[in-house]
A and B are shown apart, each in its own frame.
Chain A
């Protein structure tokens, strides 16, 4: 927040884009509102960012949101016809709470007969998941919906794996917090819980049906970042900046007020298809790629199998 204020006051910036978690984005959004500066959120998913109480003319979200994620996660959950009981585990802060609430709401609509029998709420950055894991295993769920991400998912997996947690649920875990990225798969390497389902804004490595624009984007990205495998997160930064650039072009100047107006209802191209900022909610309701994370001979880490864009565009808005 202090950094955002400094950028506005000292460096005189006209626009803000960035922040990582749903703990920071709403705070920066307030700064953007006070200073009448367009703020584009690339990764924060909590619905609190743009709900009726917090929306203002300058906030726009390129990332997905928890309602969209919950719908996609619940849709995938119902494909396992014999699942009758589900447990959840999510970090105890805005994103985790919103994510599980949205998943439960969608699941209840799609399959009211499935019961949620356990909810675990470790804190964000929890260093020790042991007690949460044993408590959840004691409830014997058929499947798990999980919103742990980044380092938390790594720690969780490393403690869950030797306890046969994934075996006990037959690998039926869906994680909606982008642990399907190449970044996460590389961090865990051979310790990745192969067989779980997760999502990513960009699977980076497509096992088939790769959009041609995407292929070029990844080649450019690899050349630019000088890495062997590109990051699954770069695309949201790319999309944010291109959306802003399109907004400025449409507005014809760099005044935040004009650009904010231009962004309303604007459609922009991205390497994984068109996105539109809803004029009402300022959301793109971005779908994400989902798939089973499995071993692939050519790579030393888990690769998303047959990435599928979920939920289909018709089901949101």
Chain B
């Protein structure tokens, strides 16, 4: 550095600081998009069916385990990851269909306490089932070879796989919004969320709308669980950890609001990411401060309707 003029050194320093902040921003955005994938299903079920599904995190965990299982079966195939993701998402969707038809449909319109008790029981049952089937150790799935590398963006190293997830998140948000607001099915779903009885009286099959929504929400949970495996370990307990975070996101954005969940995830990711820089010793401090503040100012969340 002896030969460089002070001016160049300053520009360099600014560039380094800039790329550092950018990579911190991108890190926060990755976190956000994963959370959005998970939380969107949770928010959807609450928005339409008014059911708080605590077992959503368990569906996510089962998705991760199923993806691992499928990769083991397809082992020598280089791109085993993609069929494994599809298998996991469909598998969890099927599980969702069974659970909805056999149990959930008796809970609609009941007191929240019954719903909480039932979904909590489901958390325990699925948690134990996963331990029984896949053991208590940590499992891991490798990133698909095509997305194993990284690229440099503004001096920050970004894994290709994370960029892929960052694209999937908004795509699902936009797709969901499009279906809900511009199709016949979407109109029925919105009608079901507003007045179930009236829609039933008008001759629409509310039961199958509910099943469809629950299966789609389970599909999203399975998909996010499978997609998370290349960057996380699969361990018992991942279900409970994620459901807490997903709830925070849904609460920030407003229960039942699709875009609220999206922006809730983005805010969560960035606050966590930059909170770590400012208070390195207390990684969750900033997030919980944010949630409390939002709850005091707007108890129904940023995009929610006052109850």
Taking beta carbons and an 8 Å cutoff, which residues of A are in contact with B? Answer: 92, 118-123, 125-128, 130-135, 137-138, 150-152, 154-155, 158-159, 162-164, 183-184, 187-191
Contact A158–B140 (Cβ < 8 Å): yes
Name 8 A/B residue pairs within 8 A (Cβ), A-sorted: A121-B280, A127-B241, A130-B31, A131-B28, A132-B276, A152-B233, A162-B159, A187-B233
Q: How far is the CB of B275 from chain A (nearest CB, A)?
A: 8
Alpha-carbon gap, A135 to B272, bound state (A): 12
Residues of B within 8 A of A183 (CB): 137
Q: How far is the CB of B58 from chain A (nearest CB, A)?
A: 15
Taking beta carbons and an 8 Å cutoff, which residues of B are in contact with A? Answer: 20, 23-24, 26-28, 30-31, 34, 137-140, 142-143, 148-150, 156-162, 228, 230-235, 237-238, 241-242, 245, 272-273, 276-277, 280-284
B140 in complex: contacting residue of A119, A125, A162, A189, CB < 8 Å: A189
Contact A162–B150 (Cβ < 8 Å): yes
Which 7 pairs between the two chains have the least Cβ-Cβ distance? A162-B159, A154-B233, A151-B138, A151-B235, A130-B27, A151-B233, A131-B273
Q: How far is the CB of B306 from chain A (nearest CB, A)?
A: 32
Residues of A within 8 A of B242 (CB): 127
Residues of A within 8 A of B230 (CB): 158
Alpha-carbon gap, A135 to B233, bound state (A): 21
Cross-chain pair count, CB within 8 angstroms = 112
Contact B24–A162 (Cβ < 8 Å): no
Residues of B within 8 A of A189 (CB): 140, 142
Alpha-carbon gap, A140 to B18, bound state (A): 15
Contact A128–B233 (Cβ < 8 Å): no
Residues of A within 8 A of B156 (CB): 134
Contact B231–A120 (Cβ < 8 Å): no
| A123-B283, A131-B27, A162-B159 as given contacts; A154 in contact with B137, CB under 8 Å | no
Q: How far is the CB of B64 from chain A (nearest CB, A)?
A: 11
Residues of B within 8 A of A152 (CB): 233
Q: Whose C-beta in chain B lies nearest to the C-beta of A121?
A: B281
Residues of A within 8 A of B272 (CB): 131
Alpha-carbon gap, A92 to B34, bound state (A): 23
B238 in complex: contacting residue of A127, A130, A138, A190, CB < 8 Å: A127
